[in-house]
Amino acid sequence: MKSDLVYLVQTNTTVGFLSQNLEKLNQIKKRPLNKKFLKVISDFSSLPRSPKKFRNRIRRTPNNNTYVIKNEAYRVITESNHKEFLKKFKWMYSSSANESGKNFDENFAKENADILVCDKRGYFESKPSKIYKISKNKIKRLR
């Protein structure tokens, strides 16, 4: 598997494009170059150091929340199918599999991905994950 390809993958909440190639993701999504991507990681060792008082909370969260640490968004994947795929790369940039600002279109997603990764669940969208911004002294829910 090559990290510079764009993979269409069922994530824990939606169908996503995953890659380590930011240029290719920006081109597919047609989004501004200054807009950052979420970085999904397969384990906590790839997560940047967070303030000590929030570390246990982050590690013990039962679902896949997104954390903004030092203006970068990270999600540690715990869902087994997605995690097994991600382990091969350790980390990848992730974005919903749609054109920026538009709803999910399966044809668009399949046409723009280099490789389709589908498991027994197929492709679906569900409730978005929660996003928390972590600063030195507080944690704030953004979504």
Please indicate whether residue 105 or residue 63 has the higher confidence score (pLDDT).
Answer: 105
- Is the pLDDT score of 112 beyond 80? yes
Domains of the chain, first to last: 7-141 (3.90.870.10)
Q: What is the pLDDT of residue 72?
A: 85
- Is the pLDDT score of 113 beyond 90? yes
- Give the residue-averaged pLDDT of 17-26: 92
116 forms bridges with which residues in the sheet? 8
- How far is Cα 101 from Cα 75, in angstroms, rounded to an integer? 21
- Is the pLDDT score of 5 beyond 90? yes
- How far is Cα 135 from Cα 114, in angstroms, rounded to an integer? 37
> Which of 39-48, 55-64, 110-119 has the highest average model confidence (pLDDT)?
110-119
Which residues of 46-130 form beta strands (DSSP E)? Answer: 66-69, 72-76, 91-96, 115-117
- Encode pLDDT of 50-90 as tens digits: 777 777 777 777 666 887 878 888 888 877 778 888 888 88
Phi, psi of 125 (to 5 degrees): -115, 145
Q: What is the pLDDT of residue 31?
A: 84
Q: What is the pLDDT of residue 63?
A: 65
